[in-house]
């Protein structure tokens, strides 16, 4: 018998030949000990690889991977594009958006409620939050459970704001989460999150309620509103950062 | 796209062998999932989801390796002194365990070897996943198996001259 083709030798090592051909190749290998040793080493490699890495199959899957796999694939790309587009328009057109916000009745209510919650709790000196940032994991878990959907806390260290903590608030149609942030100058921001469930997605909108500026947007089940007595451009940069962190 | 989670154990096993590092492997799997979700419109219904995920993972990994290679080159260029050649020979001598031997294989060969042997993919499927011809799969498989055999035998180590 002639030397088998390389492809056949690989198929032999991988147990992919039909039994008759496999027997012929085995006989040829027995008659050619050098090739036989080489092919035996190939088979041995495969056993070593399985022995070394098959235990990974039985490891518990890390939560971050299970979460990533469980996430649905919304039309995220166009939403980001839409948000970026609106941001650009928002920067240029300023208050024109303010007049256009009647397009979605749920959104102005969100902005107003967020602004009210902001002015009520942001001045609090001794009890600004129920659960402090030192227990951030617990805070997120608790509020996620109460809102019935996984929440994330964005971070704004790059903009100079640290998380103070958060609290649970009553909303029109159920529980609402409020996260509070503070910079070194004592200025405070709040991020108000509701889960009304039937929100239509929107891009960023801006509302001014008294001294408080609010950027708000709807994202699937969740409505977000970022409130603060900050220059609008600064608030916008932080809202944009929040959006990116919440929609990585 | 509903059953991504079902593929996680095998993706993790492959990534672990490919990267040789637990954390790096899981980072790669996570990047793969996120890429898959943002590019879900590119997945053709009816095609195998796990094969598509492996294609994404391979492309991400190759890009990472290229970036690292570029950074490593820059780092070497910045070194004030030449790295000692002898250190590299000593490394070759110390290649004994499977992880190190795998890491010594070029990425393209490693991917073919692992898809065929560890993940038990057919040669044709491996070709589709890596977007290369089947003939290239076979030639890379030959080189990978021979190189790995030499590494594990220790015969790839440079011959030492006994200096008296």
A46: which chain B residues are within 8 Å (Cβ-Cβ)?
Answer: 117-118
Q: Tell me which residue in B12, B37, B40 faces A56 most closely, judged by beta carbons.
A: B12
- Rounded to whole angstroms, the Cα distance separating B73 from A51 reads 35
Closest residue on chain B to A46 (Cα): B117
Confidence bin at B54 (pLDDT 50/70/90): very high
**Given a cut of 80, is residue B69 above it in pLDDT?**
no
pLDDT, averaged across chain B: 79
Distance from CA of A80 to the nearest CA of B (A): 11
- Residue B4: predicted pLDDT: 81
Q: What is the pLDDT of residues A92-104, one digit of tens each?
A: 433 333 433 333 4
Across A198-231, b (16+ Cβ under 10 Å) vs e yields ebeebbbbbbebeebbbbbbbbeebbbbbbbebe
Q: Tell me which residue in A42, A50, A53 faces B145 most closely, judged by beta carbons.
A: A42
Distance from CA of A244 to the nearest CA of B (A): 14
pTM: 0.53
**Given a cut of 90, is residue B2 above it in pLDDT?**
no
Distance from CA of B78 to the nearest CA of A (A): 30
Contact across the interface for B8 and A76, Cβ inside 8 Å: no
Give the C-alpha distances (Å, rounded to integers) separating A203 from A29, A55, A79, A83, B133. 68, 46, 7, 5, 45
Which positions ≥6 away from A118 have C-beta within 8 Å?
A190, A192, A212, A214, A227, A228
Closest residue on chain A to B8 (Cα): A61
A50: which chain B residues are within 8 Å (Cβ-Cβ)?
Answer: 117-118
Show which residues on chain B lie within 8 Å of chain A, measured between beta carbons. Answer: 1, 4-5, 7-10, 12-13, 16-17, 26, 29-30, 33-34, 36-38, 40, 98-99, 113-114, 116-118, 122-123, 138, 141-142, 145-146, 148-149, 152-153
Distance from CA of B29 to the nearest CA of A (A): 7
Distance from CA of B117 to the nearest CA of A (A): 6
**Given a cut of 80, is residue B28 above it in pLDDT?**
yes
Q: Quickly count: other Cβ atoms within 10 Å of residue B35's Cβ.
A: 16
Closest residue on chain B to A37 (Cα): B149
State what percent of residues in chain A have pLDDT above 90.
42
**Given a cut of 60, is residue A126 above it in pLDDT?**
yes
Q: What is the pLDDT of residues A225-247, one digit of tens each?
A: 999 999 988 999 999 999 889 88
Is the separation of the CB atoms in A160 and A197 below 8 Å? no
- Rounded to whole angstroms, the Cα distance separating B52 from A63 reads 23
- Residue B44: predicted pLDDT: 66
pLDDT higher for B69 or A227? A227
pLDDT higher for A123 or B76? A123
The first and second tokens of residue B44, run together, are 């053709």
The first and second tokens of residue A201, run together, are 């997605």
Contact across the interface for B138 and A38, Cβ inside 8 Å: no
């Amino acid at each position: 018998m002639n030397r088998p083709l390389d492809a056949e030798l690989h198929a032999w090592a991988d147990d992919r030949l039909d039994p008759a051909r496999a027997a012929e190749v085995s006989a040829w290998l027995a008659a050619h000990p050098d090739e036989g040793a080489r092919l035996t080493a190939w088979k041995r490699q495969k056993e070593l690889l399985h022995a070394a890495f098959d235990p990974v199959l039985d490891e518990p899957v890390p939560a971050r991977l299970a979460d990533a796999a469980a996430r649905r694939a919304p039309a995220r790309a166009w939403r980001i594009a839409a948000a970026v587009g609106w941001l650009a328009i928002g920067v240029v057109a300023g208050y024109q958006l303010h007049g256009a916000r009647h397009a979605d009745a749920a959104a102005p209510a969100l902005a107003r409620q967020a602004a009210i919650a902001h002015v009520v709790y942001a001045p609090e000196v001794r009890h600004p939050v129920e659960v402090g940032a030192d227990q951030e994991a617990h805070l997120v878990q608790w509020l996620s459970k109460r809102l019935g959907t996984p929440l994330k806390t964005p971070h704004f260290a790059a903009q100079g704001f640290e998380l103070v903590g958060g609290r649970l608030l009553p909303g029109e149609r159920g529980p609402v989460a409020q996260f509070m942030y503070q910079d070194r100058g004592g200025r405070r921001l709040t991020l108000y999150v509701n889960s009304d469930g039937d929100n239509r997605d929107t891009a960023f909108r801006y509302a001014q309620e008294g001294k408080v500026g609010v950027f708000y947007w709807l994202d699937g089940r969740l409505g977000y509103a970022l409130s603060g007595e900050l220059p609008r451009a600064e608030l916008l940069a932080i809202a944009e950062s929040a959006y990116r962190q919440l929609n990585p | 796209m509903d059953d991504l989670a079902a593929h996680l154990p095998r993706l993790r096993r492959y990534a672990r062998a490919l990267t040789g590092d637990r954390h790096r492997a899981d980072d790669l799997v996570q990047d793969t999932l996120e890429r898959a979700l943002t590019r879900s419109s590119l997945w053709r219904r009816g095609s195998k989801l796990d094969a598509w995920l492996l294609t994404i993972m391979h492309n991400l990994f190759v890009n990472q390796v290229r970036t690292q290679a570029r950074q490593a080159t820059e780092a070497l260029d910045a070194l004030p002194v030449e790295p000692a050649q002898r250190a590299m020979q000593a490394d070759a001598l110390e290649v004994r365990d499977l992880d190190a031997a795998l890491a010594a294989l070029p990425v393209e060969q490693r991917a073919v070897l692992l898809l065929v042997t560890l993940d038990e993919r057919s040669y044709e499927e491996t070709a589709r996943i890596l977007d290369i011809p089947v003939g290239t799969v076979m030639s890379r498989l030959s080189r990978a198996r021979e190189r790995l055999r030499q590494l594990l035998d220790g015969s790839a180590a440079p011959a030492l001259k006994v200096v008296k």
